[in-house]
Amino acid sequence: MSNGQWKKELESEELLKIIFDYAGRMTSENNLDRLLLLMADMGRDMTVADRCILWLYDNYSDELWAKVADGKKEIRVPAESGLAGYVYQTSEPLVIEDVYQDERFLADVDHTMGYRTKSVMAIPLKNKQNQTLGVYQVSNKLTREALFTPHDVTNLSLAASYTAQALEAVLMNTEMEEAQKEIIFKMGEIGEVRSKETGAHVKRVAEYAKLLAIKAGFSEEEADLIKVASPMHDIGKVAIPDAILNKPGKLSEEEFLAVQEHANIGYHLLENSKRSILKAAAIIAKEHHEHWDGKGYPEGLSGESIHIYGRIVAVADVFDALATDRPYKKAWEMKRILTHFKKERGKQFDPVLVDVFLANANDFLQIKEKYVDQRAK
């Protein structure tokens, strides 16, 4: 950095402006990744640093993890290693002039991020109960002196006190959402197990559905909603008698109509929920057996009158049914599956989604190979 590029220390008014600006934005943020990046930006600006990383403790893996850059890249280190690990374990601030002279520094993190760290300041991030949630770490002071000071420790501690409460609220909400997703997935498994399917089926369908949604142009957020809701697509099977559901031979017309009723049953189980995930699941449960040409069930809907969520899961569900062994059939070869989807383009399936599927068939195969049925191993 040349002399003309040095930054000056913040005046009190500038510091307050940064606090108020970020505090307002963080109060309304309920996405963990975006909140972590906001917190990191706040810490960087308050200390006149080049970079800031917010490390959080993962008690399941005993690691510290952080989102960097655009929030998509995640790095993890053991909770007792590196400078962040030292601060997490000791709950004491740390200021270092040249990290490459300190044996605790993990140079691999620099290599991963394509960065060169020199000076570092790190402080513990604590909640109101004085529990350490993680570590604030800023790198490379941008003033002429290029050194972090006790005043910077005070400023970063101030940032931590402002952000810890918002972080804890989002972490709690995230935990509740994860619990909800797990319950939905387990409920989906129940419906599949009754018809002799495995938990791997609902995993695969969920992954296929998200992939298809992303490739069809949906946002990451909506694609995730479809993924999380899709395991409930056959939940209505819980009300179908075993004698019909698992009949080895051909179903009578009356029995086939009884099986078809699982779409309406699933919908009615879920339709009154105010939760966005369960509302999406209700739509998927009812409409993933509808056909583009109107010859599906339960309503005989056609074309775009079928909700896009149902159309997406229809492709995902049928692909998995064809690509894996079932009690009544062996898995089809990929060539035969592709031929089937080309034949049913504009008949059973949305033609646009079939084109997307065909263009990304190899990605679908990779998901199939990743989530193999336990009984198939």
Cα separations (Å) of 199 from 99, 203, 372?
A: 48, 7, 10
Q: Which of 269, 325, 268, 315 is nearest to 289 (CA)?
A: 315
Q: Rounded CA gap, 81 and 114, in Å? A: 20
Q: What strands, in cross-sheet order, belong to the sheet with 132-141?
A: 73-78, 63-68, 49-58, 132-141, 120-126, 94-96
Kindly report the length of the chain: 377
Active-site residues, by number, are 237
Q: What is the DSSP letter of 231?
A: G
Q: Rounded CA gap, 17 and 4, in Å? A: 25
* Inter-residue contact 102 to 25 (CB < 8 Å): no
User: Six-digit token pair at 374?
Assistant: 């336990």
Cα separations (Å) of 188 from 5, 169, 205, 282?
A: 58, 29, 11, 12
Nearest-10 crossing angle of helices 334-344, 308-323:
150
Per the listing, tokens 């995730």 go with 224
